[in-house]
Chains A and B, each alone.
Chain A
Amino acid sequence: MSALPAARAADAAAPAVRCRELTKSFTGAGATVHALRGIDLDVPRGGMTMLVGPSGCGKTTLISVIAGILTPDGGECVVLGTELSTLHGQRLLDFRGRSIGFIFQQFHLVPTLTVIENVTIPLIINGTPTPRARAAAAEIIAEVGLGDRGRELPGVLSGGEQQRVAIARALVHSPALVVCDEPTSALDHESGQMIMALLRRFVSLRQATIIIVTHDDRILPFADRIARMDDGRIVGIDTEATAGGQR
């Protein structure tokens, strides 16, 4: 009887993401690019981890692998206790749909759908009945401060507002892991700070794990951990003690 709580405790203590010797190469135009050259990385549950490094160092490839939309050539990637290489086809889609939220640099909102319709998409994909999906979407849209804009199309919103909608969409189905690709690079400083404050608040409220790929040094103070990458490798980890202080 005591084994189950012990297992749960061990599960909770396990990192949200655990990568070992992760490799990924791309071949094109006669040349092979080694994007990941043996990544070892642990991302603890909860909190905000940022991946930083120069362009082409493999950051985007790494979060694509962690999010289960790229298959690594070698190594191991355990996300939320599941080794991704064991998931294929429908099971992988289910895992992504249920467990992972996405925030993109260019927001990628469907321009012909209203704000509320965009936000309901992850719930609809997960089979939530439409009335419940719309209610949950309306609630989180209000939480990101756009309660009165639900019926508008993304095109009429500012960049910061669109990114807030994207955050609402990423979090509406309460995923355990959220991956963000340059969430502030298309925004001005003020909007960027507001978005990061919002993400931090959601990290605390929903106890999600957030991994952010960024070039934007101004948002580094929001991080709990910063993983520095170069040439397809993790070259350093700044932990909470050294990372930043806007939490």
Chain B
Amino acid sequence: MVRFAHAQSRLLNTDGIIVNLIALKMLFGDRGKFVGMVLGLTFAALVMTQQPSIFIGLMTRTYAAIGDVPIADVWVMDPGVQYVEENKPLRDTDLARVRGVAGVAWAVPLYKGIINAKLPDGQTKSIILTGLDDATLIGGPPALIEGRLADLHRADAIIIDREAAENRLRYVGPDGEERSLAIGDEIEINDNRATVVGIGVSTRDFILVPKAFTTYSRAIDFAPPQRRQLTYVLTKGQDGEHPGTLARRIEAQTGLKALTSAEFEQLTLDYWMTNTGIPINFGVSVLLGFLVGAAVAGQSFFNFVRENLVHYAVLKAMGLRGGVLVRMVLLQALIVGGIGYWIGVGLTALFGTFMRDTVLAFRMPPALLAFAGVGVLVIVLLSALLAIRAVLRMDPAVVFRG
């Protein structure tokens, strides 16, 4: 008896590999079911990564304008501002008040506003005009593919975002040909002449309104007259000054809202998350993908085990322990889950690669891989549990039934 107990314990060690191989051969041998199970899990993993990747990409775009100004430690704004595109102007004197706060190395004004622009062919479009500090030009596009930022000092100068120039601000030239807005083209912004002096590249944002940049003073000239025009004060702390500490100090001394870049991004994200149906829509997609994947893969796996039940019963009749049978089923479930997961994630990554630099938002952070991994694991473990229950509850006498 000791010899056989020893033998059984060895099944869990070196010879257990053989039992595992038997389990895998049972799995791979039934190709139809195997493919069905893998497809179900691939679909689940694909939906659980692709849809959230688009969602995360989309949500990331809501605060793209903040990330495009990495030099600023703290954004100072009206206390009522809820997201970066919201224009609740400050008084011009607020700039000086912020500059007066201890620990501020510099503070510059930034204007943001949606203004009508008339293209050379007479079309009228709404644009987001960003006015940069005249002296430093802080807050401009992260990169320029044509022209220089300093060209904004020329008369009537504006820089147009490439995406806008090539798509939403295309116009029909005098020759009847449609063309992109280019350097040298003149447009009217709120009935003021503006000349394109550069094409910039900024991160795609969420609201997809064409972006243009000019100096702060010119932006004020272009904008409709208002008592208050200053949208943000961009601030940099002195060396060693923690942005969060500086922000709290500015708030305390000015009564304005002061947020670090990360805080402002979170505020903007929270606004879109709580005030739109986007998270619910994507959440429903992910949930449906999970449920469909779980149903397809779970049922396929359960059917696979059920159809092999007689073989498990034979193995049990021959003396194989229930624990080893459980391990066989778990191994089969994990292998199917692993293959389905990696194919699904791979397809999502491929999708993301093809969608790079397109209008479609896509971002797949590592945490999403873990999320999908847990999702697939839940599916395979649930179906394995059902299958294991069937294996453990089977009547071993089934082996004698024709």
Asked whether any CB of chain B lies closer than 8 Å to the CB of A60, the reply is yes
Number of interface residues of A (CB under 8 A): 41
Evaluate contact between A97 and B318: CB separation under 8 angstroms: yes
9-residue interface stretch from A13-21, A120-128, A139-147, A221-229: A120-128
> Which residues on A sit within 8 Å (CB–CB) of B319?
93-98, 122, 125-126
Stretch at the interface among A2-10, A73-81, A102-110, A230-238: A102-110
Known A63-B400, A112-B28, A130-B18; judge A93-B6 contact (CB<8 A): no
Q: Are A69 and B317 interface neighbours, CB within 8 A?
A: yes
Also in contact, A182 and B402, with CB within 8 A (given A112-B26, A126-B7): yes
Contact of A60 among B3, B29, B317, B400 (CB under 8 A): B400
- Among B28, B310, B317, point to the contact of A96 (Cβ < 8 A): B317
Known: A98-B4, A121-B318. A130 touches B15 (CB 8 A): yes
Residues B25 and A112 in contact, CB atoms below 8 Å apart: yes
Docked Cα-Cα span, A64 to B313, in Å, equals 13
Query: CB within 8 Å of A: which residues of B?
Result: 1, 3-8, 10-11, 15, 18-19, 22, 25-26, 28-30, 310-311, 314-321, 396-397, 399-402
Most B-side CB within 10 Å, residue of A63, A111, A125, A130 = A125
- A97 surroundings in chain B (CB, below 8 A): 4, 318-320
Distance in angstroms between the alpha carbons of A68 and B397 in the assembled complex: 10
Q: A102-B317, A122-B318 are in contact. List 4 more A-B contacts (CB 8 A).
A: A111-B29, A112-B26, A125-B7, A182-B402
Q: Which of A61, A67, A120, A185 contacts B317 (CB 8 A)?
A: A67
Cα of A236 to Cα of B152 in the assembled complex, Å? 113
Most chain A C-beta atoms within 10 Å of own C-beta, residue among B5, B30, B310, B314: B314
CB-based contact A127/B320 at 8 Å: no
* B3 contacts across to A, CB distance below 8 A: 127
Name which of A91, A105, A124, A182 has the most chain B CB atoms within 10 A of its CB.
Answer: A124
A: which residues have CB within 8 A of B? 60-61, 63-64, 67, 69-70, 90-91, 93-98, 102, 104-106, 108, 110-113, 117, 120-122, 124-130, 153, 181-182, 185-186, 213
Taking a contact as CB atoms under 8 Å apart, the answer to whether B4 and A126 are in contact is: yes
Instruction: Rank and list the top 9 A-B pairs by shortest CB-CB distance, nearest first.
Output: A97-B319, A112-B29, A127-B7, A94-B4, A69-B396, A64-B397, A181-B400, A93-B319, A96-B319
